[in-house]
A and B are shown apart, each in its own frame.
Chain A
């Protein structure tokens, strides 16, 4: 990882590409980018990496939204992405399950590997990829269907369960499997106790916090390995937020969670490692969360998290 960063820095320097040059102002006095990257690029977490990102670059038209981002994300842990608006953290998150493919103006370069397999391989199966890497968004977005149908929608689409008249005629009926799946997913999302007696009610009748946990349950129903969360609690009140935070910690025992948050205290509370993106689409520092919040290497990260930024 460190080699990849250094090579790209070097090639940038030798090619003398004017568009790739860092403006002077982004480098704090007495501390060069290279020095800081040198420090934390040695960062090693315990356990194997689930996702490995190498030299990821994203352009939206002429806007260079992510610059040469390289990082590895360990499995069964919570990785927080923080940074000011427009720093590229959501763009980065969306690259991890190819959500940016849908944006025509986006050009994506570099590599993202899921357990050693390139997800940007032209032959990669997108449906399979998004089954393995689920996503939860900022605004809860349940389908206008029953709670039960919200959960079973994905597994039905993937052909994992089949119920109804046609299925029975074809000799297949997964009603029992569906019931189990709905209960398991809702329990994992810590919502079962609240909705078990009204599974056929419309999901839009739930509170915001419940809707968000339903969306998490829905994402879990397809049995993903990675869960991407884009500010999952920012639209929720403190009590609903704390339920989501507890849930994230619980989920990290089984899943790899990557979470974008504007709330630095939330990142500090729930994540194992934190990546700080700063304006210009750069990953400035990536380390254990306690290291980032107690003694960051980079002065720019220090200024950002202590609120002296800008």
Chain B
């Protein structure tokens, strides 16, 4: 095999993308735990760690640009570098969403809407990111379509969760007396709606990763929209 150093750079890029995804998934799990427990220190860890993810993201994006400029990849190599370049952006965004979630954790009142299971939504979202990166690492196109299906069900569950929050608000409104309590309830409700929306977005980024992986493996843009 010729162009050995180039081949090494390609494998190194793949390993680095997978490594970054592991960091991002760790942060997402920490954010979820802090949402569950209200552990502020854990939440701070996620917020403070976002700079590290951003730095690594920019470094790897630079590596992709170097590969484009210096090695002029073609065919499957081209699709691999192009897909990795896009996937890096999605990972960085998932990192941002983890930071948002950690922010909500610090303020969240876990008692108000017991009917909404944020943790279950969160576990699904984390699983989707893990599945998507595994599909990328293993060039598994079947998994890409499975992730897309998984996202349909997560979207549905997020809609149901948001509906539950609003319904609960309507039901409670008439029983509230004190103005301060109303304001706190509205804060809690909007924070919870944002939490649900951000978890739904994590799933969307997982689908993006799957879509780019499908393009990378089979030149198929069926999932890119």
Contacts and interface: CB of A to CB of B under 8 A. Distances in A.
Chains A and B belong together in one complex:
yes
Interface of A: 264-265, 268, 293-296, 301-302, 305-310
Contact of B2 (A293, A296, A310): A310
Given A294-B219, A295-B219, A302 B3 contact: no
B76 A302 contact: yes
A294 B3 contact: no
Contact of A293 (B1, B7, B75): B75
A294 B75 CA distance: 4
Nearest to A295: B219
Nearest to B72: A265
A306 B1 contact: no
Given A302-B75, A305-B74, A305-B75, 16 more contacts: A265-B72, A293-B75, A293-B78, A294-B75, A294-B79, A295-B75, A295-B79, A302-B76, A306-B73, A306-B75, A306-B76, A307-B3, A308-B1, A308-B2, A308-B3, A310-B2
25 contacts: A265-B72, A268-B74, A293-B75, A293-B78, A294-B78, A294-B79, A295-B75, A295-B76, A295-B79, A296-B75, A301-B75, A302-B75, A302-B76, A305-B74, A305-B75, A306-B3, A306-B73, A306-B74, A306-B76, A307-B3, A307-B6, A308-B2, A308-B7, A309-B2, A310-B2
A268 B72 CA distance: 11
A127 B73 CA distance: 43
A293 B72 CA distance: 11
A302 B73 CA distance: 11
Nearest to A265: B72
B77 interface: yes
B74 to A, nearest CB: 5
Contacts of B6: 307
Contact of B77 (A265, A268, A306, A310): A306
A296 B79 CA distance: 12
A302 B217 CA distance: 13
Contacts of B2: 307-310
A131 B103 CA distance: 76
Nearest to B73: A306
Nearest to A309: B2
Contacts of A294: 74-75, 78-79, 219
Interface in B1-47: 1-3, 6-7
Contacts of B1: 308
Contacts of B73: 306
Nearest to A307: B3
A308 B80 CA distance: 15
Nearest to A293: B74
B166 to A, nearest CB: 47
Nearest to B4: A307
Contacts of B3: 306-308
A301 B74 CA distance: 11
Contacts of B78: 293-294
A160 to B, nearest CB: 44
B215 to A, nearest CB: 10
A81 B34 CA distance: 61
A294 B73 CA distance: 9
Nearest to B219: A295
A229 to B, nearest CB: 22
